[in-house]
């Protein structure tokens, strides 16, 4: 599987910004040299390309920079040429104003297009209801993180979370209330995990959190999330409040290279053990599968 980053391409924007600034500066320098050699009459056609380039790269700010550049070239030209007539100065000012307006317009259009593209990219990576990454993005993230651990070392731990008796909750309170619970849990996960961690909606009422760390760190995070979910309630019609609990299975990668499927399977087995032991608890997978293919043992670290 090819390695793909589970984040929008704008995550690399700082590097692109430097390259774009260098390209724009080179373009302005070249245009300035040509104007100096051929005369100001060639300024406006030459400035069209830098203006468009600046608007595409830096939006309204780019249009302003190119407009200031064009005005400075005019000033330098008139400083070293014959005294400018009032008509020439007026025409230069009007031309600069029109250029500035064109730069702002192009920049605004490009900014709107850029935001639309970012929204489309984000919608393909995230779950619309919870705001978390979706299953497909989680699969890519697990693959990427596993390869990083294989290459650079470190530990990788997966938390699988499942809302307890969620179908019963939906049947009792309605699907819209269930959706509100999913939104609340999604917001809680986004607020609780570190920037380096990866939280996703795995499917239905099941969530996954991938962290760089060992099972003990995964257990501590799982306990914080379990308590936070238990404290989370949603308002229902009639002034009542309802909430849910969550069961969590925690598993760390036990071998190198990391077996992604085995990691997910062990976390699932720990989750099922948490369900079987009464729900609303965290179970951490320990050991490896037996030679006969039996499931890995699971040890409960919390009551």
Tell me the catalytic residues: 205
Residue 252: beta bridge partners?
A: 157
Supply 98's token pair: 């029109």
- Number of helices (H) and strands (E) in the chain: give both, helices first: 8, 8
Kind and range of the H or E run holding 163:
strand 156-163
Kind and range of the H or E run holding 38:
helix 13-38
* Rounded (10°) angle between helices 215-231 and 175-192: 140
134, 125 in Cβ contact below 8 A?
Answer: yes
Give Cα separations from 34 to 46, 52, 62 (angstroms): 9, 18, 21
| Closest-CA residue to 78 (of 21, 20, 39, 24) | 39
Kind and range of the H or E run holding 241:
strand 241-243
161, 267 in Cβ contact below 8 A?
Answer: no
Supply 241's token pair: 């409040």
Give Cα separations from 272 to 167, 219, 247, 292 (angstroms): 16, 16, 9, 20
Residues 6+ positions from 142 with CB-CB distance below 8 Å: 158, 210, 260, 263, 264
């Amino acid at each position: 599987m090819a390695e793909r980053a589970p984040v929008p391409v704008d995550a690399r924007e700082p590097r692109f910004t430097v390259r774009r600034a260098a390209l724009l500066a080179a373009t302005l320098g070249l245009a300035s040299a040509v104007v100096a050699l051929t005369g100001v009459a060639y300024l406006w056609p030459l400035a069209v390309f830098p203006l468009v380039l600046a608007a595409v790269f830096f939006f309204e700010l780019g249009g302003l920079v190119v407009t200031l550049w064009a005005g400075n070239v005019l000033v330098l030209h008139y400083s070293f040429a014959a005294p400018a007539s009032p008509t020439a100065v007026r025409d230069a000012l009007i031309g600069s104003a029109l250029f500035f307006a064109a730069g702002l317009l192009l920049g605004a259009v490009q900014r709107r297009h850029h935001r639309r593209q970012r929204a489309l990219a984000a919608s393909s990576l995230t779950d619309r209801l919870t705001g978390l990454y979706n299953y497909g993005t989680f699969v890519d993230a697990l693959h990427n993180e596993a390869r990083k651990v294989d290459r650079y070392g470190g530990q990788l731990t997966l938390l699988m979370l499942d809302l307890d008796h969620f179908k019963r909750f939906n049947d009792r309170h309605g699907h819209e209330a269930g959706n509100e619970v999913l939104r609340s849990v999604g917001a809680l996960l986004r607020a609780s995990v570190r920037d380096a961690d990866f939280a996703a909606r795995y499917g239905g009422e099941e969530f996954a959190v991938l962290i760089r760390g060992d099972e003990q760190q995964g257990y501590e995070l799982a306990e914080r999330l379990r308590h936070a979910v238990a404290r989370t309630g949603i308002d229902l019609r009639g002034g009542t409040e309802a909430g849910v609990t969550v069961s969590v299975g925690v598993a760390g990668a036990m071998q190198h290279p990391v077996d992604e499927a085995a990691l997910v399977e062990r976390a699932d087995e720990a989750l099922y053990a948490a369900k079987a032991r009464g729900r609303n608890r965290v179970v951490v997978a320990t050991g490896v599968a037996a030679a006969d293919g039996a499931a890995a043992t699971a040890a409960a670290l919390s009551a």
